[in-house]
Amino acid sequence: MTHRAELTLGLAAIGLELSSAQLDLLEGYLGLLAKWNQTYNLTAIREEERMVSYHLLDSLTLVPHLAGGSRLLDVGSGGGMPGIPAAIARPDLQVVLLDANHKKTTFLRQAAIELKLSNVEVITGRVEAYQPEQKFDRITSRAFSELSEFVKLSRHLLAEQGQFVAMKGVYPYEEIAQLPADMAVAEVLPLSVPGLDAERHLVRVVAR
């Protein structure tokens, strides 16, 4: 099966409808990720065919849960997941990719330039030191840290009425128990990622 066919089937399963141009961008991003990964070690997944489910489709399961937001921060973005696929799927969304690793942000900037993603901004730095002019409606993370640490370090970046939407593997009972007292879990949703035989959950956290 071609990458595009796998993407198309996966998107139908997720319930996302993207244009042919958006599919082109996702394929372009996949190619860049595979190419740069050879020297920059952006992801442990080496095979391009596995990247479709592990990275693209997994990241895109976040998109239906971003309604109501106009600014998204991807903390510890690494190779751009889930921020770049989300930015491609939601061109109306302003997406900031934040990572402390210079090599990774070099890749992210190049990807944003080559794919002409005008709604993407890349920041090199630590999340606790980041002080943007405008806060974020939605803050996400896919592999940054434990939930409590993620929330504590990026709490100052959350807009009023904003939400954390953390992407996790198995149901994070212990991580939820460690959340700061002034933060509450609004919901934990099981996610089904086409082609990925692993538990995935989205945790939505809000201020009490």
Q: Which residue range(s) make up the domain with 140?
A: 3-207
CATH number at residue 194: 3.40.50.150
Specify the number of domains making up the chain. Answer: 1
For the stretch 59-90, pLDDT in tens is 999 999 998 889 999 999 999 999 999 999 99
CB atoms within 10 A of CB 204: 16
Model pLDDT, residue 46: 67
Residue ranges of alpha helices (H) inside the chain are: 3-14, 20-40, 48-51, 58-60, 83-89, 102-114, 147-154, 173-177
The tokens describing 43, both together, are: 């992801």
pTM of the complete model beyond 0.85: yes
Mean of pLDDT values over 40-67: 83
Percent of the chain with pLDDT over 70: 97
- Tens digits of per-residue pLDDT, 153-195? 999 999 999 999 999 999 999 999 999 999 999 999 999 998 8
